[in-house]
A and B are shown apart, each in its own frame.
Chain A
């Protein structure tokens, strides 16, 4: 008995208040006739989106590229929590001079647009040599009229997109209590000068930044949960794949795992206290974890290959790939290595299932599967194995699934448009978006927290 919002209320509040709100929501929706529809939708697990309108930002700095207004609208749509309505079809002017007139706010409110946003971007000091941008975002209440509140940001003009992303996340936070994903980044691997280097980009594909310059292979980045460090596989030392750590704030780098053999598939635990990985130092690939003191704990012990650990959001379980049954399949175990059991089976789920990624919401595990023609696709399975489906359709091979922090999107790489590029898709298979198109090889996307 809960709507999407009821559920979110329960999640973010103490039990008593959550229950109260859930009852309130149900109570209101049972009475009028339309409420029935909402209720049915809710039981299907769909989220009723919040209608919102964005007045065209007054951008005195005339930001180059995509306008801040469009960046915000795209963020709000991508959150999957808002329905972005255009004002012009309602006969309301979207372009305003100093601020949206009260009359416009009231009329949009009457049309059901309780949330209305406007922004002003200007230089702090128009005469200053080095321009500093100041952005003010205002949220209006179409029901009661007037302002709900404002946000004020300042920084160099090239950070205006980041300010807009931050405003978008504030809106998500205001209406749902969730932190949003618009500030998140995606680490990925891109080919440069014949080498594979690590790059970062904003979650919408803008602002790519190269972070390794090894001229060798840098693969499989994993974000620390504080968004500060990347662990990754480095072939810089030549004859062995090591696991390195790069501090993105200081640029410092150090070696975390350098056993003889392959040291691959690093993934930080949800607390960032431990790093799980696979190493072939024992002859075949086994899963280990390393803690803050540099202590290693072996988690698997099997003559087959065990690799690609993926932590559950609670940190209590680990999904991984093992070919102990003959073909690579997804298995689960407790984080101490006990209680190993298969999640996918060759006869039911196909003969090649690898690279699990556990949703931060805990409800799905994305992984790489193969279709009938042995081409790689992305599949989703419930951690209890009860539901299973292919997430991606279309030509080309698909790889390296990684979840957004809100659990509503999956990033992956695909050759669907020719070269391998990075895409994101909603967890229900809609909303495919291509993020990279730089003519290079782009792979291994890994999504950070906001």
Chain B
């Protein structure tokens, strides 16, 4: 316990001083950034890369208005929900069903399209260079890809959880690109699409090397093959 007799005494002085400060007028101004401006037109669904940058700062959401300070006869301040719940909530009800329906649809489409998984390629910790085993497996996959030259190849890059979330997205893409480059060098003519999921879609969650090594992978899916 602190010394209540003496301790708070200088707190008093301090608090008093701060009070003087606050009353001095200078600190009374609103320190919260208040911004105004017109909102840019919404181009919902439009792609920003093809026009439209970040919007101008708009109206401040309810609850974020500048502080007004204490007053002897205060004005009543309304405190409302700042989010517009209507839109998300409406979606929420359909949420689960919609996701499941979409998943089922995708799976059916995959079956129809004759999706087929090739062997996963594994990588060393923090690395994107192919191992000799990885190369061997890709040579095997090459046979199938050349026999099905019209089939599309999808390569997904994945990482273990020991890298940071954002850097792993880049690392996963490097792994996918390395696989693509090697297959191209082997002479495949298939259309190739790559993507990276970083560490967002692991195949296991254990915190040990046997799981980490399974997550450091390139996953290859072929669509439209026989």
Interface residues of A (CB under 8 A from B): 3, 5, 9, 12-14, 17, 21, 24-25, 28-29, 32, 34-35, 38, 48-51, 83, 85, 90, 111-115, 134, 139, 141, 143, 147-156, 158-159, 162-163, 166, 169-170, 173-180, 183, 193, 195-196, 200, 209-213, 215, 217, 219-220, 224-229, 231, 235, 238-243, 245, 247-259, 261-262, 264-265, 268, 271-275, 278, 280, 285, 290-296, 305, 307-308, 321, 328, 352, 354-355, 368, 370, 374-376, 397, 399-400, 415, 443-444, 449-450
Contacts and interface: CB of A to CB of B under 8 A. Distances in A.
A305 B128 CA distance: 13
A151 B33 contact: no
A255 B162 contact: no
A112 B169 contact: no
A179 B32 contact: yes
11 contacts: A38-B14, A49-B11, A151-B74, A151-B77, A179-B67, A193-B96, A213-B95, A247-B42, A251-B84, A272-B57, A295-B53
Nearest to B39: A247
B27 A177 contact: yes
Q: Which of A249, A328, A397 has the most chain B CB atoms inside 10 A of its CB?
A: A249
B87 A217 contact: no
A14 B154 CA distance: 61
Given A155-B80, A174-B69, A215 B14 contact: no
A249 B83 contact: yes
B104 to A, nearest CB: 12
Contacts of B22: 174-175, 177
B52 A113 contact: no
Contact of A354 (B17, B67, B164): B164
A245 B55 contact: yes
Contact of A111 (B8, B27, B84, B95): B8
B49 A114 contact: no
A450 B78 contact: no
Contact of A280 (B85, B165, B173): B173
Given A143-B12, A259-B49, A308-B167, A154 B17 contact: no
A210 B15 contact: no
Interface string B113-132: 00000000000011000000
Interface of B: 4, 6-22, 24, 26-27, 31-33, 35, 40, 42-61, 63-64, 66-88, 91-92, 95-96, 98-99, 102-103, 125-126, 154, 161-167, 169-170, 173-174, 193, 195-197, 200-201, 207
Given A50-B11, A155-B80, A376-B162, A13 B60 contact: no
A450 B32 contact: yes
A153 B12 CA distance: 29
Contact of A254 (B35, B45, B57): B45
Contacts of B17: 5, 21, 24-25, 28
Nearest to A171: B70
Contacts of A111: 4, 8
Contacts, number: 343
B44 to A, nearest CB: 5
Nearest to B106: A238
Given A50-B11, A149-B74, A254-B46, A400 B165 contact: yes
Nearest to B70: A149
Contacts of B95: 193, 213, 215
Given A175-B22, A250-B87, A280-B173, 6 more contacts: A12-B31, A150-B73, A179-B66, A224-B55, A249-B58, A273-B56
Given A113-B8, A255-B48, A264-B166, A149 B59 contact: no
A351 to B, nearest CB: 9
A160 B42 CA distance: 33
B86 to A, nearest CB: 7
Contacts of A354: 164, 166-167
B60 A227 contact: yes
B166 A355 contact: yes
A49 B11 CA distance: 8
A254 B43 contact: yes
B201 to A, nearest CB: 8
Contacts of A243: 48
Contacts of A209: 83, 85, 88
B27 A13 contact: yes
Given A256-B52, A292-B53, A114 B162 contact: no
Nearest to A161: B79
A328 B165 CA distance: 13
Contacts of A257: 48-49
A149 B69 contact: yes
Given A48-B11, A355-B164, A256 B48 contact: yes
Nearest to A113: B8
Contacts of B165: 219-220, 355, 399-400, 443-444
Contacts of A227: 60-61, 64
Contacts of B15: 50-51, 114-115, 175
A159 B80 contact: yes
Contacts of A158: 81
A374 B162 contact: yes
B92 A245 contact: no
Given A177-B31, A254-B46, A149 B54 contact: no
B77 A154 contact: yes
A407 to B, nearest CB: 14
